[in-house]
Amino acid sequence: MQFQRLPALLVGALALTTVSASAQQSAAGGTLVQGLVSRCPTMATPILSRPEIAESLSARPIDTSVVCACVAEALNQDLKLKTSLQASQAELEALLRTSKFKSYLFARTTAAVFSCLASEFNASLELVNPE
């Protein structure tokens, strides 16, 4: 095998793995992610509506739907949730009865909201002259 082709093969394999993993998500897993993402506006809006940052966001306002789409992607790509998102309804309900799983979901969703907000803030702040 030629080493020049190795990066292309790895990228192709990764793409196939990603498509395969998302295709295997159960209906219950999809519903769980949708439920978590539905909380995103409630988490992001209080931050985005702060009067202290309004002027800095005027050149490029941050759209909550963009942040929440990013959050959905982050949750779907979380390797630790991968198996859980493939679980049946009954298996997922059993997991949701554990405080450890619920805590992880809340922490992962919160981290995704902050990460996606940070990315959007950085893009907006690129257009701002603070002086």
Nearest-angstrom CA–CA distance, 79 and 66: 22
Phi-psi sector, 8: left (phi>0), alpha (psi -120 to 50), beta: alpha
Residue-level pLDDT at 24:
78
Residue-level pLDDT at 25:
84
Q: Would 110 be classed as within a structural domain?
A: yes
Q: Would 1 be classed as within a structural domain?
A: no
Q: Would 114 be classed as within a structural domain?
A: yes
Query: Domain count of the chain?
Result: 1
41-88 per-position pLDDT tens digit: 999 999 999 999 999 999 999 999 999 999 999 999 999 898 888 988
Residue-level pLDDT at 16:
39
Residue-level pLDDT at 22:
46
Q: Would 8 be classed as within a structural domain?
A: no
32-50 per-position pLDDT tens digit: 999 999 999 999 999 999 9
Mean pLDDT of 98-124: 96
Q: Would 49 be classed as within a structural domain?
A: yes
Inter-residue contact 42 to 33 (CB < 8 Å):
no
Residue-level pLDDT at 10:
38
Burial of 109 (0-12, 13-18, 19+ CB in 10 A): buried
Q: Would 17 be classed as within a structural domain?
A: no
Q: Would 12 be classed as within a structural domain?
A: no
- Strand positions, DSSP E, the chain: none
Q: pLDDT grade, residue 9 (50/70/90)?
A: very low
Q: Give residue 34's domain range.
A: 25-125
